[in-house]
Amino acid sequence: MKKLFIVLIIMFISLSAQDMIVRVYADWHDLVRIDPKYNFDIAAGKSSEWFDIVVDHHDLSQITASGLPFEVTVSSLEYQKELVRGTYLSYAQINDSLRHLATNYPVICKFDSLPIRTYENRWIYGVKISDNVSIEENEPGFSIDGCHHSREWATPQAVLFFADSMLRSYASVPEIAEIINTTQIFCFPLINVDGYVYDYPGQLSWRKNREPFGGGIGADPNRNYGGSINGEIAGYWGAADEGQVSHNPATSSQIFCGQSAFSGDEIHAYTTYIRQHKITTGFSLHSYGEQVMWAWGYKAQGTSDSLLYNQKGIYMASLMQRLSGGGTYTPGQSYSNPYPTCGNTRDWVYGYNKYVAGLSALFYGSEIGTAFYQPQGDLDNISRQVFKAAKYLSGFADSLILVAEGFVPPSSIYALGSVGQNFTIGWYAYNTYDNHPVRWELVELSNSGVITDNLESGTTRWILEGFTLSTTQSHSSSHSFFSGNTSNMNTAVRTAHPYIVQAGDSLTFWCWHNLETNYDVAVAEISVNTKEWFCLADRYNGNSSGWIKKAISLTGWVGQSVYFRFRAMSDESQNNGGFYVDDIYPVNYFNTVSTVSSNITDTLYQFTDHPVGQYYFYVRGNNNACGWGDFSQLEQVDVIVGINESPEPFKVTGKPSLIIQPNPSVDHTEIILNNFAIHGDRTASLAIYDVSGRIIQKLQVQLDDHGSGSMTWSGQDKQGRAVPSGIYFVMINTDSVQVVEQIIMSR
């Protein structure tokens, strides 16, 4: 009888050609019995109990063949969608709702957008809520976002409900007034705008964005972030072990992680915005499953702040009642609540702030509700549960610094150039209020040598993280680096010393690869701090059919000291020959490296009678909570005879900031600079860009002894023409820092 029932189900799906949801009762690792590459569409899950899978007749045949117990929970996703379509807001209606909030509460709410358009040329809109909404204050930032996945329709509604409830309550609820007065709140209901617009009118359960690559359409935005950025290669973008992501760009591949980290325009836009606005705490909404989850997603071991994550996450979950009345949301680390992921929002926001920006951070996610296309009658209840947890977390943002601390981020050494034998090195330290540095280590490097490394002299210039020195394959002589070729592999090799990129430089190397097409991948990467890595050009996939030469321009990195890395990732099952690399240029090495001091308590160090010659310096900071942070960029100093000591750079006491007022502006707006350290004549150069990245105006501001100054922009371009209404960006670059702020012209 049971076999007959299964046959009838398969016949029904074949005839109807509609997707359905099947609940499979199994542990995550048991799902390899369905497909060893986890090439199926997971809708929701509960660790070690069940997983809901979106299936067609072919998928159901695989589930049946696996022998795992299952049942059909939704017989037609299309029918479920049609029942509720008219009760949800379209993209245009969501944007109108955001505009109405800004119009109704202009003192504390501002209509805003992420700084980059999507692949299909749409803006990702949101609102900022703050007591000084037109000013970028030095306050913690809290964000709440929805709809990374197109079909998760309830999430934008919940974000709008949160924004509306906070704004309505500001004048009458002291607790909410206190949150808004001390925290900058950013609400973005639709991150995956293109996918939502595609899914909303009539497509069937679309998950990804709409960017084409490799013959397929779309990448999973919540697998496209840079990863954990904590130094563990298993946590970086693209790690494909345990079914965390797929490198298969086929349209049917639901967890394709994209061509490279941040390759999706919506993720590039959101991460840029987060960097610009000091967003350290937040709540990213998905559906469905009624869960609250937190980092890490790529491994079972928790973060260094796991006790705090657990405490706050469990409490948030206890505030959120299930629709069925069967208790509250399930809390847990997202590795097992519901399943392993890599390149998700939670890991990246926490990792970037903790390890790169030196900020206190906690970032949570939630799987809300019980369906993709939730009945309209459930939305108010679900949104109220989200509001309770999000209000609590946003209220905690201001006190986060007291209980969670970031690493000391890389400082910026003030440029010196040529100096006499008596000179002072000084540096600017970032976000010290959050990371509390107690001492500094200054290192001097000299006698460098830049070569094309054929690897015949060993691995002194490299740090191996799973790669090995091999004689199996080589382009020249007898040695090369080899990635390995095992299942669930994450290996890397990187340069030991940084290299200062010169104009016209390219990273060149020879590589040989035989990698399972669209599943196992190798990449070349670049970093300025050894924590955050960016892919350079192509991913390496398939069979190269011999050694091939690669030359990748480094134009965008000129003047920066960088590290290079080669990394390989594989999934379960099929293993081919792996990835080899040889004859790599430029590879730098300093033959003399000496620690000047590891116990400097000020942000400067004075040299007396220093030997003549060319030297490089970098510095790093230490705090009691985390130990040593990462080294700064290299700063070249030429010590010669007969030069008076360069004047000590004037010191500033706070974080550099740009203030734009009024903003939005009808014509003229004042640009105010505070706490910028500028050498020479102390003139700061500003550039104003339009949304396409084109420079429309260049300006200069004279700074006082405290690094402050101001000027007025008339809203004109370089030809003296009034710029049209829209969003613009003002950027200041100094020797020590880059700051970007948004200007809205509303004519």
What tens digit of pLDDT does each residue of 453-508 get? 999 999 999 999 999 999 999 999 999 999 999 999 999 999 999 999 999 999 99
Amino acid identity at 650: F
Residue 730 near residue 657 (C-beta atoms within 8 A) = no
What count of residues does the chain have?
A: 747
Structure tokens at 302: 């928790």
Mean pLDDT over 662-666 rounds to: 81
Pairing of strands 423-428, 439-453: unpaired
Which residues fall within 8 angstroms of residue 131, CB to CB, at 6 or more apart? 108, 180, 181
Bridge partners for 254 per DSSP: none
Highest mean pLDDT among 416-420, 594-598, 723-727: 594-598
- The pLDDT assigned to 188 comes to 98
Pairing of strands 657-661, 683-689: unpaired
Which residues fall within 8 angstroms of residue 174, CB to CB, at 6 or more apart? none
- More confident call, 6 vs 285: 285
Q: From CA 546, how far away is CA 543, in angstroms rounded?
A: 8
| Structural domains in the chain plus CATH codes | 2-75 (3.30.70.250), 86-191+272-402 (3.40.630.10), 448-589 (2.60.120.260), 657-745 (2.60.40.4070)
- The pLDDT assigned to 404 comes to 80
Mean pLDDT of the chain: 90
Q: From CA 48, how far away is CA 30, in angstroms rounded?
A: 9
Query: What is the DSSP secondary structure assignment for residue 30, as one 8-state letter?
Result: G
pLDDT tens for 606-625 read 999 999 999 999 999 999 99
- Exposed, middle or buried by CB within 10 Å (0-12, 13-18, 19+), for 666? exposed
Name the least confident of 116-120, 436-440, 571-575: 571-575
Pairing of strands 490-495, 521-527: unpaired
Bridge partners for 540 per DSSP: 522
Query: Among 302, 312, 310, 334, which Cα is nearest to 389's?
Result: 312
- The pLDDT assigned to 733 comes to 66
Pairing of strands 279-286, 362-367: parallel
- pLDDT above 50 (res 14): no
Name the least confident of 463-472, 544-553, 731-740: 731-740
**Cα distance from N-terminal residue to C-terminal residue, the chain:** 72
